[in-house]
Structure 1
């Protein structure tokens, strides 16, 4: 499936870039799938770069910890 295929891409990468534009009236939106991918990259000790700042969302603290 798409999530497992993208996990392989993360495994091969040196880092990931999260492109987080405004969406659904939320500035710098990070959705569930992207958050999952960020967590997987974090577990693999990959560098994580965000295009925009971390959004004001319930999981902002968890995002900062990565």
Structure 2
């Protein structure tokens, strides 16, 4: 299992992303850290699901630009 520090090292976003920037987020709760399976945006001081526009009710601790998917990998 990846440690919190290893996961944080993979998320290199500094400050807050611009509202027009779609990003991946790392969240944390009492069970540990996890990446949400959908893209998000940071709009007016609030994290939102990029597809639905719904506000996230999670503790976002880091973000990064989306990673390129490699062909042939699942």
For normalisation by structure 1, the TM-score amounts to: 0.28
Structure showing greater Rg:
2
Structure with higher RCO (Cα < 8 A, 6+ apart): 1
For normalisation by structure 2, the TM-score amounts to: 0.26
Larger fraction in helix: 1
